């Protein structure tokens, strides 16, 4: 048998759970046509890219994030285990707060896709059947995700106006990304959970201190975000995860490239940071678990 192309492989995967999709233009149901595109009953058509992702944005959006930023995130999150303790916690929470054996999970603002891929693997290794979908408004992020993680469906889409039918997901992940609670509520199963990860004041504090000293960019509070989460969902659990990671030279470079914190900073100052042989960096986040109100 001839080997399927990357596009055809993704089309086959999309086909196996095409019932969660709805047309971003007219809202009607969709089907996969000739392993090339996804179409609705009114014939609105969206091509699967040869790299194996779907573009379901109606208006193309240019973002500030480029390919290098997402490749750097992939290196740090995917290979360097920068987020491992957070990922393990999320996995535990999914095991605790869901009771299905077959889970459909959406990562909103999935970036380079590493988090969703790791969480899926932990669940699959524990015997769960997982349908995973990642969406991001930045095509550059979805390109990286589709390149490294072909077992998941990747879509360029807006989390404020998603191409999914009501009550499609058992778990919605929202990691260091903006939220739209109305939309999350619409596409979440009645007994589904929303897991949001928000940075706390010490997140990447060594980077802030080095580049900003005492200036106001250093100060950060997540109070408003948490208050908003509690107003819009039924809070089931909140947990702080804080740890330090020792980064080698390559990982320090990836860190500098993946964070907007270093945008607009003087080259010399960046070089100074990159000259470090190793660095201890703090990860400090809150994980919030909510259900529908």
Ligand X SMILES: C[S@@+](CC[C@H](N)C(=O)[O-])C[C@H]1O[C@@H](n2cnc3c(N)ncnc32)[C@H](O)[C@@H]1O
**Which parts of this chain interact with Zn ion (CB under 5 A)?**
23, 25-26, 40, 42, 44
Shortest distance, position 231 Cβ to ligand X, whole Å = 20
Does residue 156 touch ligand X according to CB under 6 A? no
Does residue 110 touch ligand X according to CB under 6 A? yes
Q: Which residue is nearest to ligand X (CB)?
A: 111
- Phi and psi angles of residue 86, each rounded to the nearest 5 degrees, phi first: -70, -45
Number of residues that bind ligand X (CB under 6 A): 20
From the number of C-beta atoms within 10 Å of its C-beta (0-12, 13-18, 19+), residue 216 rates as: exposed
Q: Does residue 241 sit in helix, strand or coil? A: strand
Does residue 24 touch ligand X according to CB under 6 A? no
Shortest distance, position 253 Cβ to ligand X, whole Å = 17
Q: Cα(217)–Cα(201) distance, rounded to whole angstroms? A: 11
Binding mask 45-64 for ligand X (x = CB under 6 A): ------------------x-
Residue from 152, 159, 172, 195 in contact with ligand X (CB under 6 A):
159
Q: Which of residues 178-237 bind ligand X (CB under 6 A)?
A: 178
Shortest distance, position 172 Cβ to ligand X, whole Å = 12
Q: Centre a 10 Å sphere on the Cβ of residue 96 and count the other Cβ atoms it contains.
A: 12
Q: Cα(144)–Cα(69) distance, rounded to whole angstroms? A: 10
Shortest distance, position 210 Cβ to Zn ion, whole Å = 50
- Residue closer to Zn ion by CB (options 28, 68) is 28
Shortest distance, position 44 Cβ to Zn ion, whole Å = 3
Binding site for ligand X (CB under 6 A): 63, 65, 73, 77, 109-111, 115, 135-138, 141, 158-160, 175-178
């Amino acid at each position: 048998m001839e080997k399927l192309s990357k596009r055809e492989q993704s089309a086959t995967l999309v086909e196996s759970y095409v019932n969660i999709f709805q047309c971003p233009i007219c809202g009607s149901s969709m089907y996969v046509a000739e392993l090339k595109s996804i179409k609705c009953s009114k014939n609105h058509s969206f091509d699967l890219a040869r790299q194996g992702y779907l573009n379901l944005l109606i208006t193309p959006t240019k973002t500030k994030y480029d390919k290098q930023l997402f490749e750097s995130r992939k290196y740090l999150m995917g290979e360097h285990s920068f987020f491992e303790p957070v990922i393990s916690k999320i996995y535990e929470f999914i095991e605790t707060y869901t009771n299905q054996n077959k889970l459909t999970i959406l990562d909103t603002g999935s970036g380079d896709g590493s988090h969703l891929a790791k969480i899926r693997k932990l669940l699959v290794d524990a015997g769960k059947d997982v349908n995973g979908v990642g969406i991001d408004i930045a095509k550059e992020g979805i390109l990286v995700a589709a390149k490294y993680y072909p077992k998941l469906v990747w879509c360029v889409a807006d989390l404020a106006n998603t191409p999914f039918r009501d009550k499609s997901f058992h778990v919605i992940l929202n990691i260091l990304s903006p939220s739209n609670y109305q939309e999350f509520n619409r596409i979440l199963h009645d007994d589904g959970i929303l897991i949001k990860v928000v940075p706390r004041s010490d997140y990447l504090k060594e980077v802030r201190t080095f580049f900003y000293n005492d200036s106001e960019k250093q100060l950060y509070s997540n109070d408003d975000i948490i208050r908003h989460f509690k107003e819009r969902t039924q809070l089931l659990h909140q947990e702080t995860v804080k740890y330090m990671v020792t980064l080698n030279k390559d990982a320090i470079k990836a860190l500098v490239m993946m964070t907007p914190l270093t945008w607009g900073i003087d080259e010399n100052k960046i070089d100074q940071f990159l000259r470090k042989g190793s660095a201890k960096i703090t990860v400090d986040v809150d994980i919030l678990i909510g259900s529908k109100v």
